[in-house]
């Protein structure tokens, strides 16, 4: 019998790792699908949270302002409560006092503005004649006041156009004012409840936390109240000093309405960041210039001098124990707050920065700094002329301090 030829099996082809659905599924770690799901869930949650913040932005700003106002008012309420006052009654008394102060301030400033505008309108023809006479003498023109008044008041003139635009914007301005009043009452309501029910609110919040975390939250809340209250009261003290000094100066110079103008200077210069000093000084200078140009110059000189005294003598001593912020940090904080929340953010930026700095100081350990040329001010060397050569047998005179 002839032998059958041997059958050769084809070599098995090894499957490359990762090829094929089963192999790929077997090699993939189990945490990868979960991580992908969590990633997309996190992105969706972030977008949802961002949408809610944008939609509720007005309400969140109201709550933020109310929270800072409650920090500023609570020290006074706690002082009254420690002497037997009910918190609701003490809070109402503080609110009533603040309301009276704000109403008197607005009334006094409004009185000055109305009287000055009335005086300006009554004196406008005389100012116009003086301006036309100066232009005619300076440039050799022959402009008459009657011709200029006719050009300004004609049907297509600028005054008629200005009046038409003002009438068209009156409705929008009224709606804006009503909206501002409503927001003001909303802030006052939230602030009242935050202060009057402060202990109960804190107990509700702390009841959801373990004891260790409760201690940190209470410490943070206490720092916020101390720093914000210290900021407000230091500003009030500086505003009172500024108003008193301005009232005396304006009375001596002879500027009309010294009391309302002094209140304006004190309040605006202390509670409006960055540009408050310029806004505060502009009104008394303008009123003085309208009354007598020489008085305007004297008021300007006084404001410049007093500002230097306040910056280098009064403010460092008053704010030393309440709010220690580097001027550059304070300026940058105000700019950041204004960019985020507008004028409200600019006002709240300084107490917020003080709170964050104080809270951070409780978490960061401070160590002794190495002495170096980069960490110390250079000491001025004494001049050789001040060193006297001592005669023989006598010690040399030590150089006088630089």
**Predicted confidence pLDDT, tens digits, the chain (402 residues):** 455 555 555 555 555 554 444 444 556 677 878 888 888 898 999 999 889 888 888 888 888 888 888 888 888 898 899 999 999 999 999 999 988 988 888 888 888 777 777 777 777 777 777 777 887 787 877 777 776 666 666 666 566 666 666 666 666 767 777 777 888 888 889 999 989 988 888 888 888 888 888 888 888 888 888 878 778 888 888 889 999 999 999 999 998 888 888 988 988 888 876 678 888 888 899 888 888 889 889 999 999 999 888 878 887 777 665 656 666 677 777 778 777 777 777 777 777 777 777 666 666 666 777 777 777 765 555 555 444 544 544 444 454 444
Tell me if 30 is assigned to some domain: no
Residue 162 lies in a domain: yes
Residues 299, 331 within the same domain = yes
Residues 216 and 355 in one domain: yes
The helix/strand count (H/E) of the chain reads as 15, 0
CA–CA dist 225, 72 (Å, integer): 7
Cβ contact 245:256 at 8 Å: no
| pLDDT confidence of residue 152 | 63
> pTM to 2 decimals?
0.65
Q: What angle do CA 273, 275, 276 make, to 5 degrees?
A: 65
Is residue 2 one of the residues assigned to a domain?
A: no
- DSSP secondary structure, 231-259, as one string: HHHHHHHHHHHHHHHHHHHHHHHT-S-HH
Q: Does 199 share its domain with 273?
A: no
283 & 196 share domain: no
Domain limits for position 106:
66-133+149-208
Distances (CA, A) of 10 to 3, 15, 351: 21, 15, 83
Between CA 317 and CA 155 the distance in angstroms is 60
What is the rounded CA–CA span in Å between residue 300 and residue 265?
Answer: 12
How many separate domains does the chain show? Answer: 2
**Is the sign of the CA dihedral 67, 70, 75, 80 positive or negative?**
negative
Residues 314 and 231 in one domain: yes
Do 330 and 242 share a structural domain? yes
Give the domain-ending residue among 208, 243, 275: 208
* Residue 43 domain-assigned (yes or no): no
What is the model's pLDDT at position 90?
92
Same domain, 213 and 357: yes
What's the CA gap between 80 and 94, in Å, rounded? 10
Whether 87 maps to a domain, the answer reads yes
Q: What's the DSSP call for residue 11?
A: P
Position 8 in a domain: no
For residues 184 and 221, state if they share a domain. Answer: no
Annotate 252-280 with DSSP letters as a single string.
Answer: HHT-S-HHHHHHHHHHHHHHSTTTHHHHH
Question: Which of 173, 188, 208 finishes a domain?
Answer: 208
In a domain, residue 278? The reply is yes
Instruction: Looking at the structure, tell me whether residues 233 and 197 fall in a common domain.
Output: no
Answer whether residue 110 is part of any domain.
yes
Same domain for 213 and 168? no
Judge if 179 and 249 occupy the same domain: no
On whether both 198 and 326 belong to a single domain, the answer is no
């Amino acid at each position: 019998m002839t032998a059958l030829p041997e059958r050769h099996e084809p070599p098995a082809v090894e499957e490359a790792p990762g090829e094929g659905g089963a192999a790929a599924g077997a090699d993939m770690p189990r945490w990868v699908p979960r991580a992908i799901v969590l990633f997309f869930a996190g992105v969706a949650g972030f977008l949802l949270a961002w949408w809610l913040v944008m939609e509720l932005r007005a309400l969140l700003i109201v709550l933020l302002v109310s929270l800072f106002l409650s920090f500023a008012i609570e020290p006074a309420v706690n002082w009254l409560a420690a002497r037997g006052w009910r918190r609701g009654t003490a809070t109402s008394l503080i609110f009533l006092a603040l309301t009276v102060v704000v109403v008197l301030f607005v009334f006094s400033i409004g009185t000055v503005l109305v009287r000055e505008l009335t005086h300006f309108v009554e004196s406008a023809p005389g100012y116009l004649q003086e301006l036309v006479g100066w232009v005619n003498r300076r440039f050799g023109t022959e402009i008459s006041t009657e011709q200029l008044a006719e050009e300004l008041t004609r049907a297509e003139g600028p005054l008629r156009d200005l009046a038409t635009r003002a009438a068209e914007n009156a409705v929008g301005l009224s709606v804006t004012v009503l909206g501002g009043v409503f927001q003001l009452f909303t802030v006052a309501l939230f602030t009242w409840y935050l202060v009057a029910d402060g202990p109960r609110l804190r107990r509700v919040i702390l009841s959801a936390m373990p004891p260790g975390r409760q201690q940190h939250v209470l410490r943070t809340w206490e720092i916020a109240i101390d720093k914000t209250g210290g900021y407000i009261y230091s500003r009030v003290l500086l505003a009172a000093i500024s108003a008193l000094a301005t009232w005396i100066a304006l009375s001596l110079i002879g500027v009309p309405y010294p009391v309302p103008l002094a209140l304006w200077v004190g309040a605006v210069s202390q509670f409006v960041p960055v540009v408050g000093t310029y806004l505060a000084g502009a009104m008394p200078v303008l009123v003085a210039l309208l009354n007598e140009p020489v008085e305007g110059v004297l008021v300007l000189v006084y404001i410049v001098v007093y500002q230097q005294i306040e910056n280098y003598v009064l403010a460092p001593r008053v704010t030393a124990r309440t709010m220690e912020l580097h001027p550059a940090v304070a300026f940058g904080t105000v700019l950041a707050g204004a960019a985020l929340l507008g004028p409200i953010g600019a006002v709240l930026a300084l107490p917020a920065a003080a709170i964050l700095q104080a809270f951070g100081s409780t978490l960061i350990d401070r160590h002794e700094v190495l002495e170096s040329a980069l960490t110390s001010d250079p000491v001025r060397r004494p001049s050789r002329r001040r060193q006297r050569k001592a005669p023989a047998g006598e010690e040399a005179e030590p150089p006088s301090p630089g």
